[in-house]
A = this chain, B = another copy of it.
Amino acid sequence: MNLGRLNHVGVATPSIERSVETYRTLLGATAVGEPFDLPAQGVRVCFVDAPNTQVELIQPLDEKSPIAGFLAKNPAGGQHHLCFEVPDIQAAVAELEERGATVLGEPRIGAHGTPIVFVHPRNFGGVLVELMEEPKGDH
């Protein structure tokens, strides 16, 4: 594969509402989506658009949320993952596994309605990488 678009930067936050207010007030964000729940992933998310990519604000839905552990270590929030687009998620998973990377679980539907997977941060120098199949309608 070739390195694809950075679809978004995932940022964990204890409060999407407060974070949205911050991005509006301090950075002048105007294109802010409606927050919505992804119960299968235990999170509530909200996309803030920059001209070339997005910030995905992520808040835990409950204490079992994978984000809850992150916030326990980083109570103020912080950068959580980088999401790059790939043309085909199954091909990407096969390629990564062939090269020894640890893909976390099976592809599932992500916040943009296309299949996604996460790759273990130990494979990327401490960075949690999400791969997202690019939306077909946009290409």
Contact = CB atoms under 8 A, between A and B. Distances in A.
Interface residues of A, number: 48
Interface stretch (A17-25, A38-46, A61-69, A105-113): A17-25
A26 B55 CA distance: 23
A22 to B, nearest CB: 6
Given A52-B52, A78-B126, A79-B127, A101 B6 contact: no
B6 A52 contact: yes
A114 interface: no
A51 interface: yes
A79 to B, nearest CB: 4
Given A6-B9, A126-B74, A1 B28 contact: yes
Contacts of A9: 6, 9, 79, 82
A121 B119 CA distance: 26
Interface of A: 1-6, 9, 11-14, 18-19, 22-23, 25-31, 48-53, 55, 74, 76-79, 82, 84, 96, 99, 101, 119, 121-127, 129
15 contacts: A1-B28, A3-B27, A3-B30, A6-B53, A6-B55, A11-B125, A11-B127, A12-B126, A19-B125, A26-B96, A26-B101, A26-B119, A26-B124, A27-B129, A74-B126
